[in-house]
Amino acid sequence: MAKEEKKKEEELEVITAIYKVNLHCKECGSKIKKHLMITQGVQSVEIEIEKGEVRAKGKIEPLKILKLIEKKSKKKVELISPKVKPKEITTMDKKPKEIKDCDDFGTAAHKHPV
């Protein structure tokens, strides 16, 4: 198992991720920076309040950092760079329940999933 963890670390290269977020004061920026700096893999964080940008540099997963910024800022965050490959985006699609055909209509014990 240690080999898998080491391999995953090697896969993550040092990148700079840029996020767009509506920051209205320095305190909000400082709060986000504090939380990002203690996040594993993050090497540096720059906040530009005027532009509404947060730059995080390090061996990071851009989507995890995005979720953290959203959680701490309680605002919608947009990943500007790097563009994430579609297979990296995780979606929570629910498949509709399958309704099976049968000849038992009208019996009290017969129920279809809704």
Report all structural domains of the chain as residue ranges with CATH numbers, in order of start. 2-85 (3.30.70.100)
Q: Angle between the 62-73 and 26-37 helix axes, to the nearest 10 degrees? A: 140
Task: Report pLDDT for 106.
Answer: 54
What pLDDT digit, counting tens, does each position of 36-95 carry?
999 999 999 999 999 999 999 999 999 999 999 999 999 999 999 887 665 544 544 555
Task: Report pLDDT for 12.
Answer: 72
Question: What's the DSSP call for residue 82?
Answer: S
The pair of structure tokens assigned to 65 is 């950092």
* CB-based burial, 45-69: b 16+ in 10 Å, e otherwise: bebebeebbbbbbbebebeebbebb
Confidence of residue 1 (pLDDT cuts 50, 70, 90): very low
Collapsed DSSP state (helix, strand, coil) of residue 86: helix
The pair of structure tokens assigned to 42 is 């993050």
Collapsed DSSP state (helix, strand, coil) of residue 56: strand
CA distance 47 to 32: 9
